[in-house]
Structure 1
Amino acid sequence: MSHLSKIKTQMTDTQILQDTLKEFQIVYTVKHEAAKKKPSIILNSQLEKTEHLKAEFTWANNNYELIADSRSWQDKKFLEHWQSKVYQQYAFNTIIKEGIRAGFQSNTYSSNNNNGTIKLVLEKWA
């Protein structure tokens, strides 16, 4: 039995999304459609231990949605956990990109694996 999931995100930058997926070593294909402003990103690789999970980021309503088809509820739970990790890294990458654009430097950051938080320090000297 198939379980279709559609997860709305606040992801809007195609390049940052692609860079984030590369950081997780996820192989993907970019699919351009004339009717959409931005391309879909189809995940090609098997996501860690899931064998029957198909996933795609598709552009809808000014942001990307993650649409996934899984064969089990375990795959669906894994997808939700995985998506939150990708979203956190996407947010981190967006902050770095926008901070550098505004003249800040990223001097330090640390990840707390116990609770999943990331501490980031940006500095700007006049």
Structure 2
Amino acid sequence: MSHFTHMKTRFQNLFYLEKALNRLNISYTQQLSNSDSYHTNLVIPQSNGYDIQFCWSGETYELVVDMSFWEQLYPIENFIDKIAQQYAGEVIIGESQKMGFQPVKYQQNSDGSNTLILERWNNDK
């Protein structure tokens, strides 16, 4: 018997969530939400057929998974942490660019942390 777990996240922006998954080389597909035709869910396929989903809850994208069939390289907590770290970096880059900053360096360090350097030139004379 399947028991789906719904894990709350702070992922609110689909664009940044997709960028985070891409940066981590996590394959996914888009699927229209069953409950809300304005939002898209993300499906991460697993070879056992029990896919992982990020489903729009009305406020955030919740991770929906049957824990009995978890087939990823990392435990679920590490999986979410890695995505959250990349998501945060993508939000910082994207929102900073709206204010005129440009990323100069984005580096993943051996200790698991990320280094992000942004710059903005003052064109006022």
TM norm. shorter chain > 0.5: yes
**Equivalent residue for 2:120, pick from 117, 121, 124:** 124
> 1:5-44 maps to which residues of 2 (within 5 A)?
5-33=5-33, 35-36=35-36, 37-44=38-45
Q: Give the Å deviation of 1:97.
A: 0.9
TM-score norm. by structure 1 comes to: 0.78
Q: Which residue of 1 aligns with 2:85?
A: 88
Q: Give the Å deviation of 1:65.
A: 0.6
Equivalent pair of 1:108/1:122 in contact (CA under 8 Å): yes
Q: Give the Å deviation of 1:2.
A: 5.1
Identity %: 30
Give unmatched runs, 5+ long, in structure 2. none
Following TM superposition, where does structure 1 have runs of at least 4 consecutive aligned residues deviating by more than 4 angstroms? 72-75
TM-score norm. by structure 2 comes to: 0.78
Equivalent pair of 1:17/1:90 in contact (CA under 8 Å): yes
Give unmatched runs, 5+ long, in structure 1. none
Secondary structure, counterpart of 2:75 in structure 1? helix
Report whether the alignment pairs 1:64 with 2:43: no
Equivalent pair of 2:9/2:62 in contact (CA under 8 Å): yes
